[in-house]
Structures are given as C-alpha cells and as structure tokens.
Structure 1
C-alpha cells in the first residue's frame, strides 16, 4: 500500500532520516517505534507531504506519491492526531464530520458522525458536546471517529495513547485494533508505548540513527537483539 525507498531528510547539519527503507501491505498494521528525536514524526510528515524529503521515493499503491498522485492519496487517508487535536470552536459531530461537510448536506454528515461515534463507544448525545466538555479518553475517541468518518484505506495514528492512564490507553488500543480489523484499513502507528505495539501491530519497525534497525513481526520482537536496548531487557535467546 505504501513503500518508502531511500528516504533522507536533514535539518541543517543534523541528518534525521538516513536512507529509510520500509513498506506496509494492504490491511497490515505497522508500528514504528524509537526513542524521542529519532525521526518517527519526520517520517510520518514526509509520507503525508507536510515535509519534503531531501532524497528517496514514496510509493502509494506502487505509484510514486508525487503531485499527480497526492490528491488521490489525500482522499483515502485518515489521521488520529496526538492528543486528539479537535477544533475547539466546533462541537463533536462537526469535528467528526469536518471533511464530510465539504461535499454533503449537514444532516447527512451529522448522521454519519453519530454512527461513527457509536462505533467508538460514544452515545448519540455526545454529538452536541464541545471539546472542552470531554475527558481525555473521550477526546481521543472523537478523534478516532473523525479518522474513520470517510472510510479511509489508510489510517495514521500518532502516539494514540500519550497522556492517557493505563485503563483508557488499553481501551483506545482495543478500539484501534478492532476498527482496523473491521474495516480492513492499512494502519501506520507512531508510538513509544510497547503495550500499544502489542495490541495494535502486526509488524514493528525500530527507527534508530536515521535507519530501520529492525523490522519484523510483533510476536518476534522480544527475541530480537536490536530491540533489546529499547525494550530494556536481553532477548530470550541471549543474543
């Protein structure tokens, strides 16, 4: 679905991405982990077109993600921003239906928003609330409802559980996994939360020193030597 080849990006003398090679298949859930400042968010911003890479290629469904292909890509992706990132001046249903309202009547957009809120476990009366009236966990659910409002083919999750207590974090992880499975969407999650990786991911990639240091199934990550330092323990086989 998305493939990155030889991606590099520097900010002044600091090289953040030093030749990233990674891909995610249709319907797969990929988690990208790494310490703070290793370039996880820069990689995501390059894919989304918010930052221009210095070199390398990004492919979308086997086509270069250039100016000609980007409009199609933009129509097919959803995003759960860190912290929810709701518009303070819009109520809940208007936030969820923000994209939908550009091309359909408000009544239809509101009905879809209420249905999506139900899919993330929020009752219809939530639709009329303002973001300031929501708890952190509710705001994250509203952000998730917005991310899936238009049935995207690809969903990006940026630190989906940051700032949540363990109970709410587990609930958000379960919702994300359930929605990804239900919709068949391709998912890319940027996170440092290993509980999220185990709950959400099929594959995990460790970003280190500007490159992918390890890439493999989530079920194998506890045995991988390159992940030992990040996970804070020796791998099971002692290597």
Structure 2
C-alpha cells in the first residue's frame, strides 16, 4: 500500500530524514516510534504530500503524491490529529462530516448529519452529542469525535498522530481498543505515530523505530521485546545510557 524508498528531507542545515525505507502492506497496522524530533511527523507529511522529499520516493498504490488527481489521492486518507484538532465554531456533527459537506459528490446536510451520527455511535458516543460544540466535551470525547471524523469517508488508509496524548490511562486504553477494532473492521491500512508503548502493543502489527533520520529497526510486534537492537532496547526501557543521546 505504501512504499517509502530512500527518503531524505532537510530544513536548512537540519537533516530530519536521511534515507528512510519502509513498506506498509495493505490492511497492516504500522506503528512508528522514536524520540521527539526524530522525523515521525515529517515522514507523515511527506506521505500526504504536505512536504516534498529532497530525495527518494513515496508511492501509495504505486502513485506519487504529486502526480494525478490530488483530491482523489487525498480522498484515500483519514487522519486522527494529535489533540483531536476539532473546529471550535462547528457543532460535532459538522466536524465529523466536514469532508462530506464539501467538494464533488458532497452530501446534503440531512444525509451528512445522519452519517455523522452513525459514525459517532461507532465510537461510542450518543446521538445527542452531534449538536454539541467541542468545548462542551471532555478530552476523551473530543478524541472520539476526531476518530469518527477520520473514518467518516471510509478511507483506505488512516493516520493516527499521538492518538492518546493528554488522556488518562483508562481512556487511553479505550481509544486504543477502538482504533484496533475499527482498523480491523474496515480492513484499512493504518500508520500510527506514538510515544505511548501501551498504544504500540494494542494497535501494532508491525513496529518501526526512527532515529537519526533512518529506520533503526522494523519488525512484527511479537519481536519487539527480543529484537536485540540497542536503539529499540534503550527506548523501550527508558534508559539514559545507550546509543540514543539524551538532550540535556
């Protein structure tokens, strides 16, 4: 589904990605881990075409992000943003149906609202939430609304950017279970960026670790604890000593 080959991306003298190689198969859930500033979000932006790699290629179903119909390309993706990123001025149902109310093939307001209510129910929210505004919801409810929006158009590929940031451990577990259920149910390809190891264990089929602008280890979740990779081992156990230098 996604084939990343030798991707480099720099911002001035700051070399963020330095030859990233990664393959994500159709229907697979890939979780990318690594310290802050290692390029996880930049890689995601490159896949979406929001940033252009300096070198290398990223193919989605064999298509480059900057080739062909841009709207059709983006229509394949759903996105759960860090912090939910809801529109404060819009009621919940319009947040969920935002894409469906715009562009070619847009739905009527009645149909869009009905679909939004259906997706809200799928993430465990009652129909009466649809007419509330984001500020009236708890952090966990906002995250569920963001998830409902991510799946509203039944995308083939869903990105999750730090899906449990700001949530307590119990709500984090609920969101992780929802994500896993929905990805399996939809047969979607998923790519998740997270520091939360509980999310990694709940969501991932495969894990890739980014450090120094490259993938230091990639493999199935079952081999996470026995990889023998010094970078991954240090990250998993939060050790100050190791190949990853702590910023002081």
* TM-score (normalizing by structure 1): 0.96
User: How many Å apart are 1:219 and its aligned residue?
Assistant: 1.0
**Contact 2:48–2:65 at 8 Å: present in 1 too?**
no
Consecutive aligned runs of 4 or more in structure 1 exceeding 4 Å deviation: none
User: 1:95 is matched with which residue?
Assistant: 95
Which blocks of at least 5 consecutive residues in structure 1 are unaligned?
A: 235-239
User: 1:18 is matched with which residue?
Assistant: 18
**Superposition pairs for residues 92-131 of structure 1, below 5 Å?**
92-102=92-102, 103-131=106-134
User: 1:171 is matched with which residue?
Assistant: 174
Q: Distance in 1 between matches of 2:156 and 2:91?
A: 26
User: 1:219 is matched with which residue?
Assistant: 222
**Superposition pairs for residues 130-149 of structure 1, below 5 Å?**
130-149=133-152
Structure 1, residues 104-134: CA drift from partner, whole Å, max 9, x if none?
1000000000000000000000000000000
**Contact 1:4–1:59 at 8 Å: present in 2 too?**
yes
State whether structure 2 residue 237 is matched by structure 1 residue 232.
yes
Q: Distance in 1 between matches of 2:107 and 2:139?
A: 30
Q: Distance in 2 between matches of 1:150 and 1:189?
A: 19
User: How many Å apart are 1:64 and its aligned residue?
Assistant: 2.9
- Count of aligned pairs: 234
* TM-score (normalizing by structure 2): 0.92
Q: Distance in 2 between matches of 1:63 and 1:129?
A: 39
User: 1:49 is matched with which residue?
Assistant: 49
Which blocks of at least 5 consecutive residues in structure 2 are unaligned?
A: 240-248
**Contact 1:207–1:213 at 8 Å: present in 2 too?**
yes
User: 1:71 is matched with which residue?
Assistant: 71
Q: Distance in 1 between matches of 2:189 and 2:108?
A: 29
Q: Distance in 2 between matches of 1:161 and 1:172?
A: 7
Structure 1 residues 18 and 69: CA distance shift in structure 2, 3 A: farther
- Greater shift in the superposed pair: 114-123 or 55-64: 55-64
Q: Distance in 2 between matches of 1:66 and 1:233?
A: 39
**Contact 1:63–1:69 at 8 Å: present in 2 too?**
no
Structure 1, residues 147-192: CA drift from partner, whole Å, max 9, x if none?
0000000000000001100000000000000000000000000111
